[in-house]
Amino acid sequence: MKFDESIFSERMKPISGSVIRDIFKLLGDPDMISFAGGNPSNAALESDVVAELAQDVLKQYGPSLLQYGATEGMMPLRESTAAFLKNCGISCTGAEILPTQGSTQAIDLLIKAVINPGDTILVESPTFLGSLQAMKIYQANIVPVPTDEGGLILEEVEKAILRYHPKMLYVIPTFQNPTGITLAADRRKPLAEMVNKYGVILAEDDPYRDLRYDGEACPAIKAYDENGWVVYLTSYSKLISPGMRVGAAVVSNPALLRKMVIGKQSSDVHTPLLNQAIVNEYLRRGLLMPHIRRICGNYRRQMHAMLDGFRFFPEGTVHTQPQGGLFVWAALPEGMNAAELLPKAVANKVAYVPGTHFYPEGGHENTLRLNFSMSEPEAIERGMRALGETFKA
Amino acid sequence: MKFDESIFSERMKPISGSVIRDIFKLLGDPDMISFAGGNPSNAALESDVVAELAQDVLKQYGPSLLQYGATEGMMPLRESTAAFLKNCGISCTGAEILPTQGSTQAIDLLIKAVINPGDTILVESPTFLGSLQAMKIYQANIVPVPTDEGGLILEEVEKAILRYHPKMLYVIPTFQNPTGITLAADRRKPLAEMVNKYGVILAEDDPYRDLRYDGEACPAIKAYDENGWVVYLTSYSKLISPGMRVGAAVVSNPALLRKMVIGKQSSDVHTPLLNQAIVNEYLRRGLLMPHIRRICGNYRRQMHAMLDGFRFFPEGTVHTQPQGGLFVWAALPEGMNAAELLPKAVANKVAYVPGTHFYPEGGHENTLRLNFSMSEPEAIERGMRALGETFKA
């Protein structure tokens, strides 16, 4: 019998894959200036340091580092991650930390633990499309909540909670993907109080927070969590290496942590021990904070080169003014269509991601996401000029 | 509001976690002789070799090995895995290989791609409880099919297909976990033909096949696949390192492969590049076959020490006679209860896994699974003697 595609599950039938990752595949051309990715700069990735740490931990642990490990993760990494998170006001122990395959797996395990098909998840509009895809696979009802330049509008969140009775609110509070916007400091405690009041899980996805180039840091929403409703998701992908696939969830409620651990047992048994040990050693030796300071200096120059480059864009273009992260968000004058313009931009050797994909309800065709971490300031200026000319043509 | 456990999803509410992994936690006692695990021997894990390979691949690839990678996996590993699988009669290209986090993730992604709640999966009875847990999380209807000393009974499989219209048949054909039984060579082609005839996906989970100590190897069921209904799952966990978490699925139907890739995008983006590159380099340098020969020599002695140790067991005990793998399966005389006897065995410093957990429908309280890879032959004899005395008391 010929293989019959009607065999696919209902959850997977409508899912066609991440547009971003498909755009990535077009970027083999070395002449392309890519504003499409979300990668750290190659200059921020220390393969020599990782090689040394790999040798050291394999010598230190021996064959036990190649054995099966606990699904809950290696305690040294859980503890060093808890210590690292003190800088954003989170007070937790290693026992509340679940190491994961990047924060991607953390959000997957959290959804798996709580969301039934049809359950509502509130999201910022726009939001990270990778998370939208995970929510769609679990057949969640995704409801966008309006944002302004200070992130989620609290009155709108409360209205949506009362109307939709969501199980979860998904927020990227710092240098958001895709907009670069940061949730205002004075909205954070009220948001923690609101989810505690109504009994909604708040997934605080915060992988960019340490990439701050301007302004003052503010505490995580999780810093104001009282009853375990806030689950904090962090990642070493943007700080040490995305290819190593090490992130973590902070889950203060033991029953929820247990459900996520059980979900992870069946997903991949555990995060590779070598990768956990390398990241732990990186933290333990105090390499992370100096590294962050170094890469932030470079990223700051790149971000400002991009912000300056908007002078080449058509009059009427509006863009965000991030203080960190990897992304700037722009809205072209109404009537322009960033998806339709993309092939022309690619022909002119510049790539970006059309903004419509980041809206759960689509639309917003005039928007686009621009990443500045993969090119030097001079190339960013050239790319922004070429983009501006493409859009004006 | 106090965190309310009623928020958990229907899929996770009834799941309490792997009994095996909970037994593992009791094994910190260095005096314990553990027949409970499924780990490779520490002597089979070459941390010095892995350290050298890690250094070499990080030098060779540089920062690109720390960047994001393709969800589909690294092509060199996909190709070296395809080449490795030729020895079991599977003829495929790298494009059909999906590297995964062990075969655990491969089965998770396959179920995610095809199984709706309530869909039927046929399994051997008994079968691997980790896979049973994954099936339960996806709310599959699990139907056991009777086996004999040659594995699945073909007439019973066909009867179950006609009665339950399953979407999937899950088989561990070689040195099965938990029984150690191998699907007879002359049942393999008919089984491939049967799933092709009826349009059932056959998940062939085959992580133990290269650990053969006696008898003759036979081709994989996948070797007889004609239309992509057989998905072959392999793993480097038992051959190189479980802690590295590298396995692979062979998926010949491109549409199914695409659905599994999309599922993996949302689960963990990709398998860590460092781990993929280390395993590829291990294969590419021709280290695997000599390593397998070496570890099989040791495992053979361990297995025979265990088989000899049944002379200490109560009269009426029946056990399998595996030709490889990591497990022997035993049935104590009717009326004895291996779960009830476990605390006594642990008090006598020997651990095992009660067999009842491996039956989807429970029961079979007199059975147990014994692993021989974690102890030297002398300790195995001591442990079998202590177990025998515990059971006789």
Taking contacts as CB-CB distances below 8 angstroms, the residues of chain B near A240 are 66
Percent of chain A whose predicted confidence (pLDDT) is above 90: 93
Complex ipTM: 0.96
Token pair listed for A305: 């080169």
Euclidean distance between CA atoms A187 and A19, whole angstroms: 32
Q: Is A113 in Cβ contact with B12 (below 8 Å)? A: yes
Q: Which residue has the tokens 């510049």?
A: A350
The sheet carrying A318-319 orders its strands as A318-319, A327-331, A367-371, A353-354
Structure tokens of B288?
Answer: 């695997």
The nearest CA of chain A is from the CA of B11 a distance in Å of 8
Selected residue of A269, A275, A282, A357 to mutate for chain B interface (largest B Cβ count, 10 A): A269
Which two structure tokens, joined as six digits, stand for A300?
A: 């700051």
Cβ neighbours of residue A102 under 8 Å, at least 6 residues apart?
A235, A237, A242, A245, A246, A247, B268, B269
Residue A99 backbone dihedrals phi, psi, to 5 degrees: -65, 140
Under an 8 A CB cutoff, do B17 and A265 touch? yes
Range with the lowest mean pLDDT among A37-41, B80-84, B150-154?
A37-41
pLDDT at A315: 97
Question: What are the pLDDT digits (tens) for A264-289?
Answer: 999 999 999 999 999 999 999 999 99
Closest residue of A to B65, CA-based?
A: A243
Task: Give the number of beta-carbon pairs within 8 Å between A and B.
Answer: 287
pLDDT of residue A234 exceeding 90, the answer is yes
In the prediction, which pLDDT does A18 show? 65
Q: Peptide bond preceding B314: is omega within 30 degrees of 0, i.e. cis?
A: no
Half-sphere exposure in the Cβ direction for A193 (13 Å, CA) = 6
Q: What is the structure's pLDDT at A21?
A: 63
**The pLDDT of residue A79:** 98
Query: In B, which residues are within 8 Å of A236 by CB distance?
Result: none
pLDDT tens-digit series, residues A169-196: 999 999 999 999 999 999 999 999 999 9
- Say whether A314 sits in a helix, a strand or coil: coil
Spatial CB neighbours of B268, under 8 Å, sequence gap ≥ 6: A101, A102, A104, A105, A108, A245, A267, A268, B101, B105
- Residue-wise pLDDT for B267-320, tens only, equals 999 999 999 999 999 999 999 999 999 999 999 999 999 999 999 999 999 999
Give the residue from B381, B378, B261, B376 showing the smallest Cα distance to B309: B381
Shortest CA gap B258–chain A (Å): 9
Kindly determine whether residue B112 and residue A61, on different chains, have CB atoms separated by under 8 Å: no
| Average pLDDT value over all residues in chain B | 95
How far is the C-alpha of B190 from the C-alpha of A35, rounded, in Å?
Answer: 54
Interatomic CA distance for residues B211 and B225, integer angstroms? 23
- Tell me whether residues B137 and A266 touch, CB distance under 8 A: yes
Q: What is the mean pLDDT of residues B350-359?
A: 95
The per-residue pLDDT for B27 is 66
For residue B368, which phi and psi values (nearest 5 degrees)? -155, 155
The Cα B260–Cα B256 span in angstroms is 6
Distance of CA B153 to CAs B146, B156, B180, Å? 6, 5, 16
pLDDT of residue B60: 97
Do the Cβ atoms of A62 and B71 come within 8 Å?
no
User: Is A1 within 8 Å of B229 when comparing Cβ atoms?
Assistant: yes
* Contact: A48, B42; criterion CB under 8 Å: no
| Cβ atoms A171, A124 nearer than 8 A | yes
Q: Spell out which residues of chain B touch residue A46, defining contact as CB-CB under 8 Å.
A: 63, 66
Counting residues of chain B whose pLDDT is more than 90, the rounded percentage is 93
Report chain B residues whose CB lies below 8 A from the CB of A54: 51, 54-55, 58, 274
Q: Do B244 and A55 touch (CB under 8 A)?
A: no
CB B134 within 8 A of CB B311: no
CB A182, CB A176: distance < 8 Å:
yes
Name the residue facing A51 among B54, B108, B197 (closest C-beta).
B54
A229/B1 touch (CB, cutoff 8 Å), yes or no: yes
Task: Give the pLDDT of residue B171.
Answer: 98
Please report the sign of the dihedral spanned by the C-alpha atoms of residue A51, residue A53, residue A58, residue A60. positive
Shortest distance between the Cα of B281 and any Cα of chain A, in A, equals 15
Provide the shortest C-alpha distance from residue B326 to chain A (in Å): 15
Question: Which is it for the CA torsion B264, B266, B268, B271, positive or negative?
Answer: positive
Chain A residues with CB-CB distance to B62 below 8 A? 47
Please choose, from the candidates B316, B351, B275, B309, the residue with its C-alpha nearest in 3D space to the C-alpha of residue B22.
B351
Q: Are the beta carbons of B184 and B150 closer than 8 angstroms?
A: yes
Give dist(CA A95, CA A115) in Å, integer.
24
Q: Is the Cβ pair A47, B62 closer than 8 Å? A: yes
Average pLDDT over residues B315-344: 97
Task: Give me the pLDDT at residue B20, please.
Answer: 66
Q: Which residue of B has its CA nearest to A134?
A: B266
Give residue A5's identity as a one-letter amino acid code: E
Q: Mean pLDDT throughout A130-159?
A: 97
For A116, nearest residue in chain B (alpha carbons): B9
Q: Do B66 and A242 touch (CB under 8 A)?
A: yes
Alpha-carbon distance A149 to nearest alpha carbon in chain B (angstroms):
29
- What rounded mean pLDDT belongs to chain A? 96
Residues of B within 8 A of A121 (CB-CB) are none
Do B246 and B78 contact (CB within 8 A), yes or no?
no
B8 and A108 within 8 Å at the Cβ level: the answer is: no
Cβ separation of A227 and B262 shorter than 8 Å?
no
Nearest CA in chain B to A56: B51
Of the candidates B12, B47, B253, the beta carbon closest to that of A263 is on B12
- Test A67 with B242 for CB contact under 8 angstroms: yes
Beta strands in A95-183 (DSSP E): 97-100, 120-124, 141-145, 147-148, 151-152, 168-171
What pLDDT is recorded for position B18? 65
A12-26, B37-51, B230-244, range with the lowest pLDDT: A12-26
Measured between beta carbons, the chain A residues lying within 8 angstroms of B275 are 272, 274-275
CA torsion through residues A389, A390, A392, A393, sign: positive
Name the residue among B15, B59, B256 with its Cβ closest to that of A51: B59
Amino acid A26: pLDDT: 64
* Nearest by CB: B115 against A9, A242, A271: A9
Which residues from chain A sit within 8 angstroms of residue B228, using beta carbons?
A: 3
The reply to whether residue B58 touches residue A51, judged by beta carbons under 8 angstroms, is: yes
Put simply, the answer to whether A242 touches B68 (Cβ < 8 Å) is: yes
Among B330, B322, B329, CA closest to B300: B322
Token pair 């199914």: residue: B256
Mutate to test the interface with B, among A47, A133, A374 (most CBs of B within 10 A): A47
Span B43-70, mean pLDDT?
97
Measured over all CA atoms, what is the biggest interatomic distance in chain B, rounded to whole angstroms? 63
Q: Tell me whether residues B201 and A7 touch, CB distance under 8 A.
A: yes
Query: How close B22 gets to chain A, by Cα (Å)?
Result: 10
- Determine the average pLDDT of the residues in B96-118: 97
Query: Which among A6, A7, A45 is the top mutation candidate for probing chain B, defined by the most B β-carbons within 10 Å of its own β-carbon?
Result: A7
User: Which among B263, B228, B278, B241 is positioned nearest to B95, based on CA atoms?
Assistant: B228
CB contact under 8 A, A42 and B64: yes
Closest Cβ opposite residue B67 in set A105, A201, A243: A243
- pLDDT at residue B4, as a whole number: 82
Six-digit token string for A130:
């990778």
Work out the pLDDT band at B16, boundaries 50, 70, 90: confident
- What is d(CA B342, CA B347) in angstroms, rounded to the nearest whole number? 9
CB contact under 8 A, A137 and B263: yes
Instruction: Indicate yes or no: CB of B42 within 8 angstroms of CB of A65.
Output: no
With beta carbons under 8 A apart, name residues in chain B contacting A244.
Answer: 66, 272-274
